[in-house]
Amino acid sequence: MSYYLELQFCPTYKQLLDPNASEYAIRIQSNINYCKIMSSLIALENKTTIEQGTLLHFELLINSWSKITDSKCFFDESFSHHMKRDVIAPSITHGTYMMELFEIEDEEEDLPYLELFSYYYQNGRKGKSVLPMFMVRNPYVIERETGYKLPISQQTIIRVGLDFADACGYRYFNCTNYEKLTETK
């Protein structure tokens, strides 16, 4: 049985970093800022909206991180790490989905900023935003040594999504067909 897993992401727009932040939090905030800057620069370079700049930036990330160097790519390493075996990740491609607003953590604090950013993100257009996602072609990986197909678990797909989110500055939002995955490791 073959079906796509669609891991949906949205830009993260947390404004401030806690003054007592850990090294991990500082690295994540740095990735978020880099993501904002690159999306904006791509939008300016292509004379388009931040929305389109974000989608182009995400596409560049997926394409470059899917390239194999030294016999592995980012996704091979992430799946291998979480499955505790040397595996070949399924084919990963980029896509889009639509959502009304960005994810809200704290309604009182975030809502005014998110509405304002949504306005700028969409270049004044009202309605749903187009946001990035990546699609996993098959719900299994291939073990390098044996060639066996191993099912991807719910826990593994969450961790791979979070690895990607931490590394690139986007927020992991949702995964379609998640319920079809096995619940075990």
The pLDDT tens digits along the chain (185 residues) read 456 788 888 776 555 555 666 777 777 777 777 888 888 899 999 998 888 998 999 999 999 999 888 888 999 999 999 999 999 999 999 999 988 655 555 556 556 666 666 666 666 666 778 889 999 988 999 999 999 999 999 899 999 999 998 888 888 888 888 888 877 65
DSSP reduced 3-state for 102 = coil
Residue 160, pLDDT score = 93
Helix-, strand-, coil-residue percentages of the chain, each rounded to 5? 45, 25, 30
Mention every residue, 6+ apart, whose C-beta is less than 8 A from residue 9.
58, 131, 132, 133, 134, 164, 165, 170, 171, 172, 173
Residue 10, pLDDT score = 73
Residue 117, pLDDT score = 65
130 in Cβ contact with 121 (< 8 Å): no
The 10 Å Cβ neighbour count of residue 45 is 10
